[in-house]
Structure 1
């Protein structure tokens, strides 16, 4: 049976700490991609607030309201939406990607790898589990930004049945080459689709280059953004993925008994 969906990456300049402004931008962009046929859309990392570190506990209290608006829109438009928001729990704040399927939060993923170079580990708590979740558009593996540099995470998602990787990011200059290379590698080596939504514009001392990407399992770029607010939409043909996995049998030819447990 033929399976084909339209997927989107939403890229915009996140206004630091301005929840209402960011929410309005995101909802408007999601409506635009739905008009282009998108059934699945990914938003950037911490898209409602940006990395306003000192105010994160306060801003996290807005997340239930933001999530409610996202659920309402997903229900109205019949979409699956993914994006990360600050999640408060007790005295901790997590960078949490929520998966909303047509109005229902079906699961969430807390960022595993915190970027110590930027002090994330001083202000945020790390998650402790990976996520592959079945949705109305397929099985989604979820990751956030710095996670991209840890290939073992993505192989685990692939082995657990991920068909589409959804990655939210705030990936700044000057590491554009790493971003593009690693995303294509994750798609090719795991033979799944990739949606990577980055932010753009300047936040404090950081300049974000955008360059959100939609990538096919063979590494073909289906859509690539520039450095300004953009929405990308492309078709994902699951038969292509199945055919590629049949032609190049990476999963069957693995030798896990030799690899052992990595230290």
Structure 2
């Protein structure tokens, strides 16, 4: 591994149910981080609409045109972007992350773990597979928001060769420290880069704190947002990851025969 890239997190206030406004914000953010040399940009979870459950089926019908706009922008800017959108298949709506690499959708991931506390399981279908995908910015593993609380998913992505795990999120107050601690833990225990983007601002009764993070394989915070819209950038040097894995060979020292298959 001799590559390095500049990664970006595009944190903004999602206009509830307003696809056009959110698309404009996302495209403008992509252009700004591209001007800073970014080749990878992560958008928030359900960034085109927010969790507008009442109108989600109708709004999901606009997702294809949103994807076309992102394909055009990433082709023009020479970038990879990751963010989740409502996807409709038959009568089911999924929270789906799209990986778009320089004009092409190269992978999709439907959120595996639905946050039953907020009723996601009543309105959305759950995914049934993980995703690690090679891109021009590196091998990306994908997780979405609540997935962060399930470390076995992240270990699977790491074992499948992920160099960067991208995490779109809508993570509300008051669980800021859980967000920060879990993200650093996932980076440290898997010795890889994390690019996590949370939204900010009020959506109904929920207050989103932002605090998007770009994290090194050592768990160092390379860039962190506050509570306002912001674009973060940081250098992800893959030589650093290789060096750290050599110094502390956690993957070599694993003992999966002892762990067995977890129930």
TM-score surpassing 0.5? yes
Query: How is 1:37-186 mapped onto 2 (pairs within 5 angstroms)?
Result: 37-186=37-186
Runs (4+) of structure 1 exceeding 4 A deviation are none
For residue 32 of structure 2, give the secondary structure of its aligned residue in structure 1.
helix
Alignment partner, residue 196 of structure 1: 196
CA displacement 1:57-80 (0-9 Å, x = unmatched):
000000000000000000000000
User: Which deviations, in whole Å up to 9, do the C-alpha atoms of 1:205-239 show, x marking residues without a partner?
Assistant: 00000000000000000000000000000100000
Aligned counterparts of 2:112 and 2:224: Cα–Cα separation in 1: 26
Q: TM-score, normalised by structure 1?
A: 0.99
**Matches of 1:123 and 1:62, distance apart in 2:** 18
Deviation at 1:137, TM superposition (A): 1.1
Give 1:248's aligned residue. 248
What is the alpha-carbon root mean square deviation over aligned residues? Answer: 0.5
Q: Distance in 2 between matches of 1:119 and 1:54?
A: 13
User: Aligned-pair distance for 1:199?
Assistant: 0.1
Give distance in 1, aligned partners of 2:218 and 2:107: 28
Partners of 1:211 and 1:129 lie apart in 2 by 28
Structure 1 unaligned segments of length 5 or more: list them.
none
CA shift digits 1:42-69 (9 cap, x unpaired): 0000000000011110000000000000
Deviation per residue, 1:85-135 (Å, 9 max, x gap)? 000000000000000000000010000000000000000000000000000
The whole-number CA distance in structure 2 between the counterparts of 1:137 and 1:228 is 27
Distance in 1 of aligned mates of 2:80 and 2:30: 11
3-state SS in 2 of match to 1:172: coil
User: What SS class does the counterpart of residue 234 from structure 1 fall into?
Assistant: strand
Matches of 1:28 and 1:137 in 2, distance apart? 20
Paired with 2:219 and 2:106, the residues of 1 have a C-alpha distance of: 29
3-state SS of paired residue (1:109): strand
> Please, what TM-score do these two structures have when normalized by structure 2?
0.99
The offset of 1:2, in angstroms, is 2.5
Give the equivalent residue in structure 2 for 1:222.
222
Count of equivalent residues: 263
Whole-Å Cα distance in 2 between the matches of residues 13 and 4 of structure 1? 30
- Could you list the runs of 5+ residues in structure 2 that have no partner in the other structure? none
- Alpha-carbon separation, structure 1, partners of 2:14 and 2:242: 37
The 2-side partners of 1:210 and 1:107 are apart by 26
Q: Deviations over 1:30-50 (max 9, x none)?
A: 100000110000000000000
Q: Distance in 1 between matches of 2:183 and 2:78?
A: 28
